[in-house]
Structure 1
Amino acid sequence: MIVDTAEGTWTVPTAHGVMIPPATRHRVRMLAATTSSLYIEPVAVPWWPPSCVVVEVSSLLRELLLVAADLPAAYDPGGRDGAIAALLLFELSTLGSLPLHLTLPASPDLVALCADYLGTPETRVTNAEWAGRVSMSERAFTRKFVRETGISPAAWRLRARLLAAIPMLRSQPVTRVAATPGYASPYAFSHEFGMSPSAVGRREAISRNR
């Protein structure tokens, strides 16, 4: 699943979710995905992240989400339904964000560069090439890009290739997929997920067998 907002794009692998702040205009693209959605009153979650974040959904959290989908809107907060909702919110509050997003720059010319690259994430593109397309020196271009996105153009492109490679994990082993975005090894690639290569492969194998 891919979530796009005006600020960036978030890729959501199997067994993960995305936390979206209230009043955030967004677009969701599904790639053979089955999802569950939870809508929460903002007053109940003052700790909610101010921008979208991708999180890992544990087995417990997944079951809580499925049960919560059948709760009535006016559930009894003092009964079983209230206990389920309280545990669900507690589990959500403990989640840490994963680096599976790309921040888009603010300048229209840089946004155009990034949008084109997301469509065709080639490894051969260079900073000099991007700088030339917006009529800037490479040094000035890099400074502006870092100022607007927080990372260098080369790091941004590498992250874009990583996100584009994630859907490939549904049909190919992680050792093969890691080479596509330019990672030197499956360990470097899987580090972006915060888990080992075997765990990444096992998680996707489970998804394919469901």
Structure 2
Amino acid sequence: MPRGNEIFKVGDTDLGQLADLGQLHERRWQWLEQAVGPAVALPTEYPDGYHVPQHRHSRSQLLHALVGVVLVTTRHGRWMVPPDHAMWIPAGTEHSVEMLGDVSMRSVYVMPDAIAGLPHGLRVVGITDLMHSLIVESEKLPQGAELEGRGGLIMSLLLHEIPNLPERPLGLPFPSDPKLAALCRRFVAAPSPHATIDEWADIVGMSRRSFTRAFHRQTGLSLSTWRQQACLFAALPRLADGEPITRVAFDLGYDSVPAFITMFKRMLGASPRGYMRGSRDNIRVSNG
């Protein structure tokens, strides 16, 4: 069987030769269904704006954005995957993927029963230094076959590290109620920190108490937390492109830059400048 990392490592030349990058995905999905071994690691390079249509895998996917920002959409909501992060997509989950900027993606496809303790639900996770190194090494190995020796140890350790990856608040679940979901879609299109429970409750004709209960029941989040995560969705790609923090903060409707930085630090544990600097440092290390 051919090496998966030879078939699917797509560079500029390959993109120029393919009339439709969708052909690549069809070949990949067919090949994955036949591959053996508990995990398969495949690299792919994507141009800005490329959209992978809705699909599913019989394997779970650890989707790692080495460079660039990725937006994953399912019927349950949206998840943003910036550099230094990954998304865990359980086997059988219908999802589409959108590239925000040029993206260097590293995906590990995992059999559902590969080891005990693998996550059951969709989640964005932080990539530790150890996991980053394991992913980079894993893509160099022969793919689609049982591995022994050093290769087998690398893949085994990679699998056992997946349950230990820290979850990050970069999911944006949408309510199942059509009226509430419509409000969320409008907010994502034009995010603002000033949306209130009373305003949203009035629009859908619900009391404040009923709205609060329904929104939390259907998303697992309060409106305040959901709103902050939606603002992060809007901010991260622009910050990754090098836009000034001041411009991003005011465009999102924050009254001051410190207010925006406070929200950012509360959600991601670092200031925007520190967070993006850390992502770039990891990219330089991986390319060095």
What range is the shorter-chain TM-score in?
0.7 to 0.9
Aligned to 2:144: 73
Q: What is the distance in 2 between the residues matched to 1:54 and 1:172?
A: 24
Q: What is the distance in 1 between the residues matched to 2:228 and 2:260?
A: 14
1:111-158 Cα shifts (integer Å, max 9, x gaps): 111122112213343323322322223332222212222332233222
Q: What is the distance in 2 between the residues matched to 1:122 and 1:23?
A: 34
Across the aligned residues of Structure 1 and Structure 2, the Cα RMSD in angstroms comes to 2.6
* Equivalent position SS for 2:113: helix
> Could you tell me how far 1:73 is from its partner in structure 2?
1.4
* Equivalent position SS for 1:83: helix
Number of residues of Structure 1 aligned to a counterpart in Structure 2: 209
Q: After TM superposition, list the pairs within 5 Å mapping 1:1-210 onto structure 2.
A: 1-32=70-101, 33-69=103-139, 70-77=141-148, 79-170=149-240, 171-174=242-245, 177=248, 180=252, 182=254, 184=259, 186-195=261-270, 197=272, 199-206=274-281
TM-score by length of 2: 0.64
* Equivalent position SS for 2:209: helix
1:54-90 Cα shifts (integer Å, max 9, x gaps): 112234322322332232311333x121111112112
Structure 2 residues not aligned, in runs of 5+? 1-69
* Equivalent position SS for 1:38: strand
Aligned to 2:14: none
Percent of aligned positions with the same letter in both sequences? 37
Q: 1:176 to 1:47 in 2, by over 3 A?
A: farther
Q: 1:195 to 1:123 in 2, by over 3 A?
A: closer
Q: Higher strand fraction: Structure 1 or Structure 2? A: 2
Contact 1:174 1:197 in 2 (8 A): yes
